Chains A and B, each alone.
Chain A
Amino acid sequence: GAVVSQHPSWVICKSGTSVKIECRSLDFQATTMFWYRQFPKQSLMLMATSNEGSKATYEQGVEKDKFLINHASLTLSTLTVTSAHPEDSSFYICSAGGLTIATEAFFGQGTRLTVV
């Protein structure tokens, strides 16, 4: 299957700083990528849809000014958590593919963000 690489795998940052997470499709072009957030022992919640060359589409309740998404190329989407706070600590996962009803999505390895 296709490979999606996410970096970093984990990051610790201080409150008030910003953190950037990268999501790359290694062997295919992804005009659309998705960002999910997973709280401990809970399911994945879709945060936003990242569209190459245009603005991201955010799900209801997700602060677009806090979670900045940039999809500057067909293989790279970035999520920047701005002015991070401890409540932003979570596991963030990106995916690509699965754009038609019968096809699968490919997930990155996830990024564990801890804000101290």
Chain B
Amino acid sequence: GDSVTQMEGPVTLSEEAFLTINCTYTATGYPSLFWYVQYPGEGLQLLLKATKADDKGSNKGFEATYRKETTSFHLEKGSVQVSDSAVYFCALNGGNTGKLIFGQGTTLQVKP
């Protein structure tokens, strides 16, 4: 079945450092890919998405490119801030069912 794998966390960075969180997926067909962010004690918020190969999703300085050849959707940000500290989930939607498949989540901690 479909699956999503994220890099293990936690990831600890200093403010203004470069961030990469790896995400790879397995799916039949052509899924849409998402990054969601979860702040402590809260639900999930969509950070960005890409719906087809080579699409780049971007939001709030975060970017991710849908790479079909490597089945990846790595999240990047050039300069992280303390306020970016959260848990980041990579997810895929493989069809018109509404069911999302999530990766295990990666905790990011940014220190001043």
Contact = CB atoms under 8 A, between A and B. Distances in A.
B45 A100 contact: no
Interface of B: 31-32, 34, 36, 41-46, 49, 51, 89, 93-100, 102-105, 107
Contacts of A32: 98
Given A101-B31, A101-B93, A107 B102 contact: no
Contacts of B41: 9, 110, 112
A109 B42 contact: yes
Nearest to B87: A41
Contacts of B89: 43-44
A105 B105 contact: no
Contacts of B31: 101
Q: What is the interface residue range for chain A against chain B?
A: 20 to 34
Interface of A: 1, 4, 6, 9, 32, 34, 41-44, 46, 49, 93, 95, 97-102, 104-110, 112
A46 B95 contact: no
